[in-house]
Structure 1
Amino acid sequence: MSLPSRIYPVVDRAAWIDRLGGAGARLIQLRVKDLEGAALLAEIRAARAHAARHGVCLVLNDYWRLALDEGIDFIHLGQEDLDEADLPAIRAGGLKLGVSTHSTGELDRALSVGPDYVALGPVWPTKLKQMPWGPQGVERLAEWKRLVGAVPLVAIGGITLARAASCIAAGADCVSAVSDFIGQPDPEAQVRAWLAATAEGAVFQHGSIT
């Protein structure tokens, strides 16, 4: 398969899907870490409605059971999530699956479950969460792309507008970020700038940006 966009914002609230989807983002992950129960369910349902209105492919982080129940057709799992996820149920329910990787061992494990994309990170240092893995660098993206073949490759971690094109040029099919979208003073303009920077002609011209 291919992903519907070269840019992939990750957001913590449904309202961002309305804003970024309205600005042209077509692949957005909802990653909610601070809600549960009815509040979490309401956020997921609002995200689904915004995504449907804007033609966004919505990816739900972690909550695969809720994705099945609520008709979200794409989930993202970390390596630790794979330990507990019911992969036969996920596949039987028709869910598409993205998996995080940080090492060749994790990549082997991810590929063994037939993912719809593989994410590699952090490409650059990130302050959003503590990670045992050091920066991978854009050279690792090229290595990962050779290993994954036709499976779409997502770059994530420390990526900014100025760095996005270099990730695509190195082999990533899609580039993801959190703060460089929702932490900007004009997130909608940032989406449009990322779309322009990762367009085919722009990548060819500016792919060496670091």
Structure 2
Amino acid sequence: MKLDPFYLIVDSAAWIERLVPLGVKLVQLRIKTMDEAGLRVEIRKAKALCAEHQCQLIINDHWRLAIEEGCDFVHLGQEDLQTADLARIRGTGMRLGLSTHDHVELETALAARPDYVALGPVYPTVLKQMKWAPQGVDRISEWKRRVAPIPLVAIGGLNLDRLDGVFAAGADSAAVVTDITLNADPEARTREWIEKTTPWR
């Protein structure tokens, strides 16, 4: 499976409506705190928008709702992986991405036969408090040797200036959150990301 090199992560269908029409082809909907009814509305709206614009939608964490709503890709963190019904997820034909932060988590992830592995944080990140130190680009190269041919996603503190190094180290896709959502002009920044990652398509 080939992932688009530009992997946008947002926390609402409103962001998807705003940015996906610009040419985004891979987006994760990551909503941490919302009731089930609200989540279902967000997922349905996101799914419809992504279908309209030929964009791959990935649902973070909420695998049961993703199955019920007919989504085809879910991303799980390590804690969610421990409680998820992988047989049910696989039984639907759904694809699976997994987060990793250290060697133990990588072994756990590989045992689940994911469709991609994410490594982070590559650089310091403002998104959330992390108990892991920044991994650095050398860890990307190590992870790529371990996971190949499974695609590797780099995440954490990425910006346009860091992309060349991340891809040169072996990442197949670069995930971004705050460099776009906290930017003064998210639309312009999104277009820059699309242009900058075009050589790796």
- Interval of TM-score (by shorter of Structure 1 and Structure 2): over 0.9
CA deviations 1:122-180 (Å, max 9, x no partner) are 00011211111100001110111111111000000011121122111110000001111
CA deviations 1:89-140 (Å, max 9, x no partner) are 0000111000000111111111111101000000001121111110000111
**Amino acid in the other structure paired with 1:2:** K
Aligned to 2:153: 154
Counterpart CA distance in 2 for 1:53 and 1:19 is: 13
Q: Secondary structure at the match of 1:51?
A: helix
Normalising to structure 2: TM-score of the pair? 0.96
Aligned to 1:2: 2
**Kept after mapping to 2: 8 A contact 1:68/1:93:** yes
Q: Secondary structure at the match of 2:114?
A: coil
**Kept after mapping to 2: 8 A contact 1:164/1:194:** no
Does residue 72 (structure 1) correspond to residue 66 (structure 2)? The answer is no
- Map 1:72-91 → 2, pairs under 5 A: 72-91=71-90
Aligned to 1:23: 22
Counterpart CA distance in 1 for 2:16 and 2:116 is: 21
Counterpart CA distance in 1 for 2:165 and 2:50 is: 28
Q: Secondary structure at the match of 1:163?
A: helix
Q: Secondary structure at the match of 1:10?
A: strand
Q: Secondary structure at the match of 2:132?
A: coil
Counting aligned pairs with the same residue, the percent is 54
Q: Secondary structure at the match of 2:156?
A: coil
Aligned to 1:51: 50
**Amino acid in the other structure paired with 1:39:** G
Counterpart CA distance in 1 for 2:165 and 2:35 is: 38
**Amino acid in the other structure paired with 2:114:** P
Aligned to 2:131: 132
Counterpart CA distance in 2 for 1:116 and 1:141 is: 17
**Amino acid in the other structure paired with 1:191:** T
CA deviations 1:22-46 (Å, max 9, x no partner) are 1111000000112112111111111
**Kept after mapping to 2: 8 A contact 1:64/1:90:** yes
Aligned to 1:194: 193
Aligned to 2:176: 177
Counterpart CA distance in 2 for 1:198 and 1:38 is: 36
Counterpart CA distance in 2 for 1:91 and 1:170 is: 31
Counterpart CA distance in 1 for 2:28 and 2:22 is: 15
**Amino acid in the other structure paired with 2:22:** A
**Quick check: 18-27 or 55-64, which moved more?**
18-27
Structure 2: any 5+ residue segments left out of the alignment? none
**Quick check: 59-68 or 190-199, which moved more?**
190-199
Counterpart CA distance in 2 for 1:160 and 1:199 is: 15
**Kept after mapping to 2: 8 A contact 1:74/1:97:** yes
Counterpart CA distance in 1 for 2:199 and 2:192 is: 14
Structure 1: any 5+ residue segments left out of the alignment? 204-210
Q: How large is the RMSD of aligned CA atoms in angstroms?
A: 1.3
Q: Secondary structure at the match of 1:35?
A: coil
